Amino acid sequence: MGLRKAGGNWVAGDSFFDREVEIEALIERVEDRIHTLVTAQRRMGKTSLVRELLRRLDETGDFETVFVDLEDCTTAADAVVEIAAAFRDIRGLWTRVMNWAGKVSAGTMDRIDELGVSELRVKLRAGIDAGRWRAQGDALFASLAASEKPMVLAIDELPILVNRLLKGHDYKITPQRRRDTDEFLSWLRKNAQVHRERIRLVVSGSVGLEPILEQAELSAHANVFAPFELRPWDEETAVACLGELATSYGLQVPERVRTGMFRRLRCGIPHHVQQFFDKLHEHLRRNDRREASVDDIDTVYSQDMLGVRGQVYLEHYQSRLRMVLGDDGYVVALELLTQAAVSGGRLTDDSIQQYDAYRSVLSGESGGQVGDVLHVLEHDGYLVRREGGYEFVSGLVEDWWRARNARGFVLFGDRQA
């Protein structure tokens, strides 16, 4: 069979390529009772890495493994419910969770097994109130910690929830929201520390947790997690991945062509590598061919990777930026990235200074915002610091940004994105 195409969502098993070193490192951490925070820009393969880690741990049978996604949560109580609900398909532990739920909701938990997941959430949610989620959440962790095997609890998209707690729907940090965020993170940190012997957390998310916490001066809460930075594939790995995909789908993509593909992307973000292969595959199929040439690369890159679909991906990147930065910061980010895109991919310190001065005049504030935004852009993998300025990390993202700009993008008409 060989390596299979990804199809958009996270991958594991026979669609999962490479990352052996990372998997090994994470297994070691789990064994050493270390809580991990997996960071990387979006589409780098964090969720896939964690899913594959859990799959391999399951094969050994030494740990209970659970995966929780907090993407749709808006409150701390939601998160407690989501964690509890994630145990539904885990024999043995589900009984404990039901016992816990029985106490939480004073006996309304009979016939819970017959409920669908969404009904189950509603029912659990009804039993957890805003005032008591903390104690109820502690009790949940305590009952999970009593499980026979040690547990690996993977929590995906934690930064999205934290960002929501902190900024609400209008992207503004208020004292109340800051307190709520502080309370949630203290709760998680305390449980991570208390149950270290029995439960190891592997936290990940597609927006960086650190820049968000820095905005609220809550960085200390991240200390309980050892950071783990997931890097893009290097040229050799990306080229090998393209080779395996080509073989699996019966295509001939000579090494010269695969290297050309990588050089176009410049940065081996696995999702982009997969996209490029998929577009090339479609292109060859349309032309009823099985062998790719260097010319195909140019065509597929400019027509498919940078085309309308590319703009859709770019919008996804943009909405994440807006979520983290809020409306004002988002505008700053757009202007900085556009400036970089139209200046040959480079943002010089001089132009940053000028722009910063212009922003302070505009907002009447003493500045600093441009620096904060740059920090997020660097952390989230858009820009990298190079002598005397910043450059785009990814050739594809740079080209997307340039294409978008060439299409006559109107800055202030974009706010409904």
| Partner whose footprint covers residue 396, from ligand ADP, Mg ion, none (CB < 5 to 8 Å by kind) | none
| Partner whose footprint covers residue 112, from ligand ADP, Mg ion, none (CB < 5 to 8 Å by kind) | none
Write down the least CB distance from residue 340 to ligand ADP, Å.
Answer: 23
**Exposure string over 172-187, b if 16+ CB within 10 A, otherwise e:** eeeeebbebbbebbeb
| Partner whose footprint covers residue 271, from ligand ADP, Mg ion, none (CB < 5 to 8 Å by kind) | ligand ADP
48 binds Mg ion (CB under 5 A): no
Provide DSSP, 9-52: S---GGG----HHHHHHHHHHHHTT--EEEE--TTSSHHHHHHH
Beta carbon nearer to Mg ion, 187 or 313? 313
Residues near ligand ADP (CB under 6 A): 6, 8-11, 15-19, 40, 42-48, 206, 270-271, 274
For residue 381, what is the enclosing H or E element?
none
Tokens 């996270």 correspond to 10
Beta-carbon neighbour count of residue 235 at 10 Å? 14
Q: Using CB under 5 A, pick the residue from 36, 39, 41, 47 that binds Mg ion.
A: 47
Beta carbon nearer to ligand ADP, 6 or 265? 6
Write down the least CB distance from residue 69 to Mg ion, Å.
Answer: 9
Stretch that binds Mg ion, among 44-52, 331-339, 359-367, 372-380 (CB under 5 A): 44-52
| Partner whose footprint covers residue 125, from Mg ion, ligand ADP, none (CB < 5 to 8 Å by kind) | none
Stretch that binds Mg ion, among 18-26, 46-54, 56-64, 130-138 (CB under 5 A): 46-54
Beta carbon nearer to ligand ADP, 270 or 326? 270
* C-alpha to C-alpha distance for 240 and 17, rounded to whole angstroms: 9
* C-alpha to C-alpha distance for 285 and 280, rounded to whole angstroms: 9
Stretch that binds Mg ion, among 40-48, 98-106, 228-236, 401-409 (CB under 5 A): 40-48
| Partner whose footprint covers residue 13, from Mg ion, ligand ADP, none (CB < 5 to 8 Å by kind) | none
Residue nearest to ligand ADP (CB): 45
Beta carbon nearer to Mg ion, 268 or 270? 270
Write down the least CB distance from residue 252 to Mg ion, Å.
Answer: 33
Name residues whose C-beta falls within 8 Å of residue 106's C-beta, 6 or more positions apart in sequence.
127
* C-alpha to C-alpha distance for 82 and 65, rounded to whole angstroms: 15
Sheet holding 64-69, edge to edge: 64-69, 151-156, 199-204, 36-39, 226-229
41 binds Mg ion (CB under 5 A): no
How many residues bind to Mg ion according to rule CB under 5 A?
1
Beta carbon nearer to ligand ADP, 46 or 164? 46
CA nearest neighbour of 377 among 335, 315, 327: 335
Name residues whose C-beta falls within 8 Å of residue 388's C-beta, 6 or more positions apart in sequence.
348, 349
| Partner whose footprint covers residue 379, from Mg ion, ligand ADP, none (CB < 5 to 8 Å by kind) | none
At 61, list the tokens: 């049978």
Beta carbon nearer to ligand ADP, 18 or 78? 18
CA nearest neighbour of 310 among 282, 276, 269: 276
Tokens 């009823």 correspond to 288
Stretch that binds Mg ion, among 41-49, 102-110, 138-146, 343-351 (CB under 5 A): 41-49
Stretch that binds Mg ion, among 39-47, 56-64, 87-95, 379-387 (CB under 5 A): 39-47
* DSSP character at residue 402: H
At 388, list the tokens: 């005397």
Contacting positions for Mg ion (CB under 5 A): 47
